[in-house]
Every structure is written in structure tokens, then in C-alpha cells.
A and B are shown apart, each in its own frame.
Chain A
Amino acid sequence: MMYVMIKGKPAKSTKIFNLSVEGYDLPDLMVRWLGEILYLFEGEHKLVTGVDVNAVSHSRVDATLETVSFNANLHEILCEIKAVTFHQIEVVKKDNRWEARIIFDL
């Protein structure tokens, strides 16, 4: 999602913190998780540069995030994501791997 919004990889991480998100099924969990990432940018002006998932189930994700502060001189906004939508959402396991299809409202 970050690569949809922002050009280039930021140079340094400046903050590490834990994020936990709950949802009532996998699609809902995915939407809420990405919604939190989006809020970090929109509300806190932070870009997520790394994610370590510590625990995940069908209803909860616990992760450690690395973030940098958004800097208009360093980071080019490619496009604005208005919302993470449920439209045609899919979070499925295929051949032992998890795949997700998400449509963003731009």
C-alpha cells in the first residue's frame, strides 16, 4: 500500500512501535489493518517502512512497525488513497500461501 501512495524507499527508520488490530473475519481484519496503516499516514504523517508480524489469527494481528516521518522534501506522493474498501475483497489461502485482493478508493 505504501508503494501505491509514495515513491521511493525512505532512508532511515525513526520509530518502532507495536500495533494490534482486531476484526470479525479475515476481510474485515485486512481492511482494519490497512486502515490503521493509512491512518498513520493521514493522521500522524508517518510512513510505514517495515512490518514484523508477531502473531496473527483470523480475528487479530499483532505486529511491530517501523515508521519514518513524512517529509514533503524527501517523499513524493504518487496518489492519495481515500479508503480501503470491501469491494471484491478476497483473503484466501492458495497452495499454502495467503493471497489478498483489495480495492482502494483513490
Chain B
Amino acid sequence: MDIKIEKIDEHRWLIPKTGPMRVPGLIFSNTELINAVREDQSLTQVANVATLPGIVDHALAMPDIHWGYGFPIGGVAAFDLDEGIISPGGVGYDINCGCRLMTTLLQAEDIRPLMKDLVIALFKNIPSGVGSTGAIRLSKRDEIKVAVQGAAWAVKKGFGTTEDLERTEDHGVMVGADPSVLSDRVIKRGKNQLGTLGSGNHFIEVQVVDQICDSKKAQAYGLFEGQVTVFVHSGSRGFGHQVCDEFLKEMSKPSQKVSFKLPDRQLACAHLKSDPGRRYLSAMACAANYAWANRQILMHFVKETFLKSLSVNPRELGMKLLYDVCHNIAKKEQHTVDGTNVVLCVHRKGATRALPPGHPLLPEIYRGVGQPVLIPGDMGTHSFVLSGAKGAMIQSFGSSCHGAGRVLSRSKAVKMAKGRAIHRELEDKGIFVQSRGKRTLKEEMPEAYKDVSQVVEVVHEAGLARKVVRLRPLCVIKG
């Protein structure tokens, strides 16, 4: 497909409905970012998503959009429950990849002399890397409980408190999880990976709040300038990956083929009301719950490491969960379309839910200010906390961006980094890094990503979510 785009305004671009597209495409971007988007296949992918049955309103793309499997990363698409489809590629291999941000009572200046020791301790205590396994070995019975109970299972086992569940999207559990649809391979892959970080772009990052953009909301979130915060970015590990892989294969079979022509076989999907569609939703919920349990446990390990490494007590540390968001998920949600309230299946692949003030799904503590929207940047620059805004409910099914978005493939990044000592470049900026894989730092170097400040600015100006604080990295561990 030859993709033409039209500028609507400074932050929105339209892919007009043409050919097999059932709806137009709408891209949140700016002039500079949109030029990078034209260079990969992501616009074609947005147009392809727009051809899927039951899609409502627009096929959407956030400003961190880049090329993905079938659906672009940074893509949002909502489907009618009767006519619409569910696509594993529209969720992603890492089901409920997401992040959580913890606040502390510590000032960055007070712990700066201990930063190197802290990052070494985090790297030692938190299992990371390709195929990493951890200290938690699940029996099949327990794994099934994790798949059903999500973060609550971890809390029951002593990893955190019930207050954490209030501050987690969907209270850290997706209903409808049915472990009977899980294969032996899924169970096998999830058995030893709970409480592990993973690899690639997964990380744990210690930061300082270096700019307050909205002081009232910052106060409501418990954020202050100079404060130490911690991001945890991880997902459902091999468990979720196996679920996605198996259902993609099943939905690709000729016998399962849907009654319309797919422009890309990687958009393999099934009608929401079909048997494979229902089973995928159940399996996806299991994987989402696994991921929430995983991040809950990782947070506990981070807290333990801080207490020991910094020789502080829990009251002095004051570590609290601000919020946990997922950015690879499909959920049934209520939205208003052409003035009518409808329940839709919203796919977010590399996109974050962004509920505005007053939304009933928000915990009481945030109902006055809106949902915290956590946007990690690359490891050399900034991350942001935003708050969900009304514009998201009107324009993007309550969605926002999820990060900086890659501009370089991993292999191109490695080539560009040849001869460079990325860890030393970061140390020169005052950022200490530990990583497991030799190539990881090169693959994840700052130039591999879009400028997250620009991405966030688009979201802010478009009214999807509003900037609250900016965070600067102090130390990072990667798999």
C-alpha cells in the first residue's frame, strides 16, 4: 500500500480511508517525528490494522510508533465485541510488558556517593538476562494460582502489601484468566522465571526528579524535586511469549482463517466471539497476571536491595508504589463513540492507558488528578510521569504513548556503537550502568531511541496526558 498522510494540525496526522481500509488512521506526532516514521513500515502497518473487521473510529498510533509484528508498536485499535477481532500481534509477544514507578523519601544528593555500590547490588540481587531464572521455583499448582490471582498472589506470599494493588492498573489482576487453556509449554516456560527482569529493553532504573512540570499534581503523586525514584520495566517473560506464539500459530491455520483477506499474515486474528478468540483472551489474562506478579516481586527485591545497600530502615527509605501500568494488552473497556456508551476490545501494543480525573476505574487517591502515566525514556536521558487527560478519552480510547520508541534496529545500533564504550559515556554523564548481555548496552544506547521529550510533548499538546515531572537516570541495570 502506498501510504499518503495529511496533516490535521501540529500534533495529528491522518491516513485517509482508502482501498480496503474500514476506518482512517490517526497518528499523534510532530513534523520531525513523522519523518522518521515514514522510513519504516509502521504507517503501512497502521493502514493494515484499519482493514480489520469491527474496528471502530480510527486505527491509532502514538508518537513513539515504530515497526512491529503485524500491528505497529505504539498502536491502539478498538474493536466492536460482536463484529470485531482479537489479534495476538495487536498485544505483542511480551503480554503485559509494563512498568511501575516507586517513590522514596530519599534525596538523590544524599545517596550519590553510594550509587555505584547500589547499582552493583541491584545487578547482583535481581536475576536478569536472556532466559534468566530466579530464586522462585513454582509448582504447577502455584503457577496456576499466579495466572489467576496476579499481583495478589505475590502480596499473599509476602512480596509487598495490599496498598500496592490499589496502585496497580486493574488492581494487578485481569479477570477471565482460565489456566485450563494453557499448554504444557507455557507452564514449563513460566516455572522458573517469576521474579526475573528479562533482557532487551527491560530494566530497573534509579532516578532523580529533576523538573516539576505541574506542582499540584506532583504533590498529589507524592513527587518532589531531588527525590529518588525507581522504575521497573518488565513483563510476562517466557510465559507470555509462549502464549502469543501458540495463538499466532493457531490463528494462522487455514481452518481458522477468518472470512476476510488479511493484508499481512502477521495480523493473524480471530473473531472475539469465536472459540480461539475466547481462549486467547483467557490465556492473555493469565499472562497479564503473571507479569503483574513478576513486577510486584521485582519491586520487593529492589526495596530489599535499597535497605541493605544504603543502610536505611524502611521508614527512612519510605519506598511506595506510585503506579503500575501495562503497555501490551487487550481489554474490554467502556467508551463513548458517537455519543453512545459501548464496550469495546481495546488493543494497546506499546501504548499506555491514560484515564482522566474523575474516571471511576481510578483509585480514590488519584481520582482528583488523573491516572499516573509512566513514560520511560532511554537510559541516557529522561523519563516522565504524566497524568491522564480528558483528550485521551475523546481521541484515543483513553491511551497515551509508552516510551521513546526505537529509531535504530538493534543491529544498526550495534554497528553505530562500534569502538565506543557506552558504559563509560554514560558514566561521564553521572549514570552508572550494569548489563548482562555484551551487546545490550549498544543495542539500548540513547541514539537508538527517539527523543522522549518530543514524544511526551506531542502527547501533552494533543491533550492525551499532561506532564507532571521529569526524571533523570542515576543508575540502570539491564538484562
Measured CB to CB, the residues of A under 8 A from B are 24, 28, 32, 35, 39, 41-43, 45, 70, 76-80, 82-83, 85-87, 105-106
Contact = CB atoms under 8 A, between A and B. Distances in A.
Contacts of A70: 131
Nearest to B254: A24
Contacts of B411: 106
B199 A80 contact: yes
Interface string B185-198: 10011000000000
A41 B409 CA distance: 23
Contacts, number: 57
Given A77-B130, A79-B437, 16 more contacts: A24-B252, A24-B254, A28-B252, A35-B245, A42-B238, A43-B189, A45-B131, A70-B131, A79-B443, A80-B200, A82-B200, A82-B241, A83-B69, A83-B93, A85-B69, A87-B69
A105 B245 contact: no
A101 B266 CA distance: 16
Q: Which of B41, B131, B437, B443 has the most CB of A within 10 A?
A: B131
Contacts of B242: 39, 43
Nearest to A106: B410
Nearest to A77: B130
Contacts of A35: 245, 249
B438 A43 contact: no
Nearest to A39: B185
B252 A77 contact: no
Contacts of B93: 82-83, 105
Nearest to B257: A24
A43 B265 contact: no
B4 interface: no
Nearest to A105: B69
B45 to A, nearest CB: 10
- Report the 3 A-B pairs with minimum CB-CB distance, sorted nearest first: A106-B410, A80-B130, A77-B130
B439 interface: yes
B253 interface: yes
Contact of B188 (A24, A43, A76): A43
Contacts of B266: 85-87
Contact of A32 (B131, B199, B249, B410): B249
Contacts of B131: 41-42, 45, 70, 77
Contact of B437 (A77, A83, A85, A86): A77
B41 to A, nearest CB: 8
A1 B254 CA distance: 27
A79 B439 CA distance: 7
A19 to B, nearest CB: 14
A39 B410 CA distance: 21
A78 B438 CA distance: 7
A78 B129 CA distance: 11
Interface in B435-479: 437-439, 443
A23 to B, nearest CB: 9
Nearest to B199: A80
Contacts of B200: 80, 82
B474 to A, nearest CB: 27
Contacts of B129: 77
Given A77-B437, A106-B409, A106-B410, A83 B245 contact: yes
Contact of B253 (A24, A82, A83, A85): A24
